[in-house]
Amino acid sequence: MSFSLSNGEIYDFEVQKINGETTTLEDYKGKVLLIVNTASGCGLTPHYKGLQQLYSTYKDKGLVVLGFPCNQFAGQEPGTEEEIQHFCEINYQVSFPLFGKIDVKGENAHPLYKYLVENTPAPYHTGEIEWNFVKFLIDRSGNIVKQIPARTEPEALEADIQHLLEN
């Protein structure tokens, strides 16, 4: 399957919600998206707090944070989808959409992540997912704006998010 950046095909990707229901990203068309690979047992797990804060602050203006749990980095997301959802709700009051566990790199990487990694524009293109909590910012038209390194605190994205929401 081949995708171009200009026609919003990101919305065609099929994903599995954390409850097992299959859907596409079409539900988020016209929104600013922050797509993040997550883990519950990582030193960066507190990023959930900042992600939830961004979502709470800007969801009514059109921001949606999409969390994709992944167990590919030091086995830091070993739980079931139910355990992951419970952990996120209890510890970080996460209310943004979470999805089923996926691979984000390698031969079995989810097609969405292959697309994100391959199509991030310069100078933000790294060609890889280096760790948990790598963030991708997508504009309202479905274009990848940038890939943000794992260690970047969610709060540091606020100006970029405000800019995309206003334009």
Q: Does domain 9-166 have CATH number 3.30.420.40?
A: no
Mean of pLDDT values over 19-41: 96
User: Among residues 10, 42, 98, 150, which one is catalytic?
Assistant: 42
Is residue 167 very low, low, confident or very high in pLDDT (cuts 50, 70, 90)? confident
Average pLDDT, the chain: 93
Kindly report, residue by residue over 59-104, the tens digit of the pLDDT: 999 999 999 999 999 999 999 999 999 999 999 999 999 999 999 9
Mean of pLDDT values over 24-39: 96
HSE, CB side, 13 Å, CA atoms: give it for residue 99.
23
Q: What is the CB neighbour count within 10 angstroms for residue 128?
A: 11
Helix (H, G, I), strand (E, B) or coil at 16: strand
Question: For the stretch 53-62, what's the b/e string if a residue is b when 16 or more beta carbons lie within 10 angstroms of its beta carbon?
Answer: bbbeebeeeb
Helical residues (DSSP H) of the chain, grouped into ranges: 47-58, 81-92, 111-119, 158-166
Question: So what's the pLDDT on residue 19?
Answer: 94
Domain boundaries, the chain: 9-166
Does 42 participate in catalysis according to the annotation? yes
Kindly report, residue by residue over 113-147, the tens digit of the pLDDT: 999 999 999 999 899 999 999 999 999 999 999 99
pTM here?
A: 0.93
